[in-house]
Amino acid sequence: VAYSQKDVKLTFKKAGKDFKDVDGIAYISSQRIVFAATNPKKFQTIDMPRRCIKDLNVEQPVFGSNYISLRLEPEVNGGLDRTEEVKMDFKAGGAINFAKAANVSFRQAAVFTMSSCKAIAKPIYFQLSE
């Protein structure tokens, strides 16, 4: 774990009421963001692979706490059936530091892997004639 932040409220904009305003802890590794609910009921955890995270932005509203918004694309056999808009509200502060840590961790890991969420096709090999 490269970084973690307590007092985070996670909201899925398109999901049902069980997945709105869930309090928990967010973790960053070189490959993903993991959110674990502090009082799990129907929602317990979500694993967001970095290759599926799009448009990660830090929002700084005039009123209220800073938050991160992102688009999470579904992964094959990953549990999501559609692209989801995710909001991570940092009630005790730390949104900017969290985004910086994610950016650094993901950038370092991107040097080693290049893939997307879609099923990865087998490579096509060509034989060059002389």
Taking only Cα atoms into account, the Rg of the chain, rounded to an integer number of angstroms, comes to: 17
The string of pLDDT tens digits covering residues 92-102 is: 999 999 999 99
pLDDT value, residue 19? 74
Question: In DSSP terms, which residues pair with 32 in a beta bridge?
Answer: 49
**For the domain with range 3-110, which CATH number is right: 3.40.50.20, 2.30.29.30, 3.40.50.300, 1.20.1200.10?**
2.30.29.30
| Global confidence as pTM | 0.79
- In the chain, beta strands by DSSP E: 3-12, 22-28, 32-37, 45-49, 53-59, 67-72, 84-90
Q: For residue 115, what pLDDT band results from cuts at 50, 70 and 90?
A: low
The full set of domain ranges for the chain reads: 3-110
The string of pLDDT tens digits covering residues 59-94 is: 999 998 899 999 999 888 777 888 999 999 999 999
